[in-house]
Amino acid sequence: MDKVEEITQKIVEKFERHGVKVNKSEIKKRVDLLLNEFKVPEGEIIRTITNYLIREHGLSKEILFERESPLVKIAEITKPGVWVSVKAKVAQLWDSSSPNVSQVGLIGDETGMIKFVIWAKSGKGEVEEGKSYLFKNVVTDSFQGRMQINVNRFSSIVELEEDISLPPREVSIVGALVSIQQGSGLIQRCSICGRAMIKNSCPEHGKVESYDDLRIKGVLDDGESVYEIILNEENVKSLTGIGLEEAKRIAQEKLDRGAVLSELKSRLLGRYFKVTGTKGGRYILVKEVDFYKPELKEFKLLGEAI
Amino acid sequence: MIRRREVAKRVFAYELTRSTHVLQEENVKYALTPLGERVNRIFSVSVLLDKEEVRPDTNLWRMRLSDPTGVFYAYAGRFNSEAVETLLDLEPPVIVALVGKVRVFEGVTRKLVSVVPENLVEVESAVRDYWVLETAKATLKRIEEMEKKEGEDVKLAWNIYNPNLEEYKSVVKQAVSLIREELEELEKEFEEEEEDFEFEEEEWDLTELLED
């Protein structure tokens, strides 16, 4: 491909991305003229011809500033005024209060959530809650200190087959630890896949090498609902001072791995905890956990209320 | 079909021991409390006052437990050896957290409500304090529901027990004040200790340091 053809192609594609058909042979002539006759640098050629076409077709100047819109994750959207593309699921649609807005709401991928606005004059179709789309060539914006994306007339919205997952929801609970389930305490994990072993064998790989780990699978109950939680070694250590090394020492001293579980049960069962974590399927994966202690003022308030 | 785990209800002994009416729903038995709560599992933090073997060598143990509103009984035996082991190590009086199932026994003259422990463990007094607060809130919520007189269980509770709601309110109030007074006492002691400390601080003799 010669230089003229290459530059022409770039310009044509740029307009096609925005659904604008341009006359290729006409552009080619202009490129040839500027490049070979007037020795204008490439960047300037593209700019000049783009400018001319925008005027010709009565388009908005935005095409000029458009860069390739890279596909980004929502968490990566931090600056306003950037052209991006995102694959996201529509989590919520809000009622629009303005006639200029055709739709407004929240979209998300596994890294985060962001507000989106489809401007009425963009002429783009409507999206539905719960469906996933590729939002192509949208502009990031900052409104009242929060990032959002704007769908304008150069954007496109394509429905996706795949289901984009939303970020895990963080939950915070205060409850009593009413049960510690099997598979807690000093456990063995398969050295190949890291799964907890049952009776010294991995459900996947059978009798293989294993390594020790410490965890609690338990039930937190707040009197209204039950929550299954997993406390990892770090959580257990922060609550009891017993980490993996100490647990191994206890097991050796008592010649019984079960001694670790008994010790943990006596220190944790029946106590109240404040737990923050994310719900991953059946269990809440605990990020932060601490013993919960009420304050005197809570008693005073309740006493006065009766 | 996995059955959902029963939530451990918070019920004071005063309400629990009066919950003699049994409801059955798909093989699950519930005791209906006078305030219209269905109870299968409870979580209670109380004082173990006493433990005794029901008859020698039966390995069936009766525990007498007390919260600020009254006394109730729990029975641990072969079916829960872990609770029995814990129990043997405990020297009453001691504060325990108890998770267990509520049972209603038909006696000759009256029905007896008791608890079969699933988990029994000695805990700190702060746990008891919060349990009282939590249980007080839960009980007050039930009283409110009873006042509205709506819902099947509430209507049933009115029919069977016809409870005096004022009585329940004052029981809750007493329980809360008891804990509050105890905590205020602790706070006072703590402040006094701090004051003592400040007082000592003023006693430092700094003359030596100031001399050349």
A301 touches chain B (CB under 8 A): no
Please check whether residue B189 touches A, CB under 8 A.
Answer: no
* pLDDT-based confidence at residue B182 (cuts at 50, 70, 90): confident
Do the domain assignments include residue B172? yes
- Which stretch of DSSP H or E encloses residue A228? strand A226-231
**Nearest beta carbon to residue A296 from set B8, B173, B184:** B184
Among B7, B127, B129, the residue with its CB nearest the CB of A224 is: B7
The DSSP call for residue A164 is P
Which candidate in B2, B7, B140 is best for mutational testing of the A interface (most A CBs within 10 A)?
A: B7
- Indicate the CATH number for domain A74-159: 2.40.50.140
pTM summary value: 0.68
CA dist A37 and A27 (Å) reads 15
pLDDT for B209: 58
CA gap A180, A178 in Å, rounded: 7
Please tell me the predicted confidence (pLDDT) of residue A83.
87
Chain B residue with the nearest C-alpha to that of A299: B180
Does the beta carbon of B179 lie under 8 angstroms from any beta carbon of chain A?
Answer: yes
Burial label for A88, CB within 10 Å (0-12, 13-18, 19+), is buried
Backbone angles phi, psi at A165, to 5 degrees: -90, 145
CATH topology match: A74-159 vs A170-294: yes
Spell out where chain B has E strands: 8-9, 21-25, 28-32, 38-39, 41-53, 61-67, 70-76, 94-106, 111-122
In a domain, B169, yes or no: yes
Q: Does B9 touch chain A (CB under 8 A)?
A: yes
Query: Is the Cβ–Cβ distance between B127 and A174 less than 8 Å?
Result: no
Give, as one character, the DSSP assignment of residue B56. Answer: T
In B, minimum Cα distance to A270 occurs at: B97
Q: Does A303 touch chain B (CB under 8 A)?
A: yes
Among A270, A294, A298, the residue with its CB nearest the CB of B123 is A270
Distances (CA, A) of A119 to A68, A89, A101, A123, A149: 21, 18, 5, 8, 11
Distances, alpha carbon A271 to alpha carbons A52, A171, A277, A285, B66, in Å: 74, 19, 18, 19, 18
B180 — alpha (psi -120 to 50), left (phi > 0) or beta?
alpha
**Cα angle value A163/A166/A171 (rounded, 5°):** 145
Q: What is the pLDDT of residues B51-92, one digit of tens each?
A: 999 988 888 999 999 999 999 999 999 888 889 999 999 999
Decide if B62 is inside a domain. yes
B123 and A271 in contact by Cβ < 8 A? yes
Interface test mutation site (partner A, options B15, B43, B87, max chain A beta carbons within 10 A): B43
Kindly determine whether residue A300 and residue B180, on different chains, have CB atoms separated by under 8 Å: yes
Chain B residues touching A223 at Cβ < 8 A: 7-10, 43, 134, 138
B21 found inside a domain: yes
Parent domain of B72: 9-181
Question: A269 in contact with B at a CB cutoff of 8 Å?
Answer: yes
Each domain of chain A, given as residue ranges in start order, spans: 3-64, 74-159, 170-294
Enumerate residue ranges in chain A where pLDDT < 70: 1, 62-68, 280-281
Q: What residues does A217 pair with on adjacent strands?
A: A230
Residue B165, number of CB atoms within 10 A of its CB:
14
**Within-domain flag for B196:** no
What is the per-residue pLDDT across B134-170, written as a single tens digit (0 to 9) for each? 999 999 999 999 999 999 999 999 999 999 999 999 9
Encoded tokens for A196? 């907890």
Domain count, chain B: 1
Q: Which residue has the higher pLDDT, B190 or A75?
A: A75
The residues with which B23 forms a beta bridge, in sequence order, are B30
Are A219 and B5 in contact (CB < 8 Å)?
yes
Q: What are phi and psi of A173, to 5 degrees?
A: -135, 145
Nearest Cα residue in chain B from A306: B173
- Measured in degrees and rounded to the nearest 5, phi and psi for residue A254 equal -95, 0
**B169 in helix, strand or coil?**
helix
Q: Is the omega angle on the peptide bond into residue B163 within 30 degrees of 0, that is, cis?
A: no
Rg (CA), chain B: 23
Correct CATH for A170-294 of 2.70.98.60, 1.10.260.30, 3.90.870.10, 2.40.50.140: 2.40.50.140
Quote the pLDDT of residue A269: 98
> Measured between alpha carbons, how far is A217 from A185 in angstroms, rounded to an integer?
9
| B190 at interface of A, judged by CB pairs closer than 8 A | no
Half-sphere exposure of A28 (CA within 13 A, CB side): 9
Q: What is the pLDDT of residue B1?
A: 43
Q: Which residue of B has its CA nearest to A293?
A: B126
Which tens digits make up the pLDDT trace of B91-136? Answer: 999 999 999 999 999 888 889 999 999 999 999 999 999 999 999 9
CATH of the domain at B98: 2.40.50.140
Q: Tell me whether residue B188 is in a domain.
A: no
